[in-house]
């Protein structure tokens, strides 16, 4: 059933609002996927904090017009499902990549992050980006390492002194 003008405006406004606050966007061709498979993809996207929507390309072009994802406009052809990462930049890439491994009919067509259109081959790189919590823990580990090493080094001095005194005591007892 075709959408009337008000419904089209609502779809464009909704997608534009999501796109304006999203970190990254993926567009994938979904032709050949069964309804159950699309439902599974939507559930996985929801769990990962990814906004997933099938939108007519003409409406999608209007929605991303004044956002970082305007670079995707020329590549919007064919039946596409759009995935926008809401929480971390790699979330949409992880969901789409994992799903496309299982179902080869989902073919990635466009990948965008930070206002730049990336080659489709960069999807794996984007999917491997750490989440916010992982990045914080990596940063903390890097910040903690020098202090830990200093403490271990300072602890070596009394430890070696104790070993030396113990060796001297053993040598005197043996003599």
**Cα gap 115→68, rounded to integer Å:** 4
Q: Are residues 123 and 137 in the same domain?
A: no
In this predicted structure, the answer to whether residue 101 has a pLDDT above a threshold of 80 is yes
Q: Are residues 138 and 80 in the same domain?
A: no
Cβ-proximal residues to 161 (8 Å cutoff; 6+ apart), any chain: none
> How many domains, the chain?
2
pLDDT of residue 161: 80
Q: Could you read off the pLDDT of 8-51 as tens digits, one per residue?
A: 888 888 888 888 888 889 999 988 888 998 999 999 999 988 99
Q: Are residues 27 and 103 in the same domain?
A: yes
**What angle (nearest 5°) sits at the alpha carbon of residue 79, between those of residues 76 and 80?**
60
Q: Are 23 and 113 in contact (CB under 8 A)?
A: yes
Q: Are 99 and 30 in contact (CB under 8 A)?
A: no
> What is the average per-residue pLDDT within 115-123?
85
Domain residues for 146? Answer: 131-175
pLDDT of residue 83: 92
User: Half-sphere exposure of 73 toward its Cβ, with a 13 Å CA cutoff?
Assistant: 13
Instruction: Report how far apart the first and last C-alpha atoms of the chain are (Å, whole number).
Output: 102
Domain C-terminal end among 109, 129, 149: 129
Q: Are residues 111 and 153 in the same domain?
A: no
- pLDDT category of residue 1 using cuts at 50, 70 and 90: low
Q: Are residues 160 and 119 in the same domain?
A: no
pLDDT of residue 114: 81
Pull the structure tokens for residue 37. Answer: 């498979």
Pull the structure tokens for residue 26. Answer: 């993926």
> What is the average per-residue pLDDT within 60-74?
86
Q: Are residues 34 and 113 in the same domain?
A: yes
**Cα gap 30→154, rounded to integer Å:** 60
pLDDT of residue 82: 92
Q: Are residues 87 and 145 in the same domain?
A: no
């Amino acid at each position: 059933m075709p959408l009337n003008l008000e419904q089209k405006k609502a779809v464009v406004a909704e997608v534009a609002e999501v796109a304006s606050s999203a970190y990254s966007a993926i567009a994938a061709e979904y032709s050949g996927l069964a309804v159950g498979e699309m439902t599974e993809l939507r559930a996985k996207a929801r769990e990962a904090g990814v906004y997933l929507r099938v939108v007519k390309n003409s409406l999608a072009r209007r929605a991303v017009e004044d956002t970082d994802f305007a670079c995707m406009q020329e590549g919007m052809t064919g039946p596409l499902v759009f995935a926008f990462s809401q929480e971390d930049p790699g979330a949409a890439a992880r969901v789409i990549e994992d799903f496309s491994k299982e179902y080869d009919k989902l073919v990635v067509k466009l990948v965008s992050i930070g206002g730049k259109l990336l080659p489709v081959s960069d999807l794996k790189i984007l999917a491997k980006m750490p989440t916010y919590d992982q990045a914080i823990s990596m940063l903390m580990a890097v910040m903690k390492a020098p202090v830990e090493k200093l403490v271990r080094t300072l602890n070596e001095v009394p430890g070696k002194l104790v070993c030396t005194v113990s060796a001297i005591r053993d040598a005197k007892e043996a003599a």
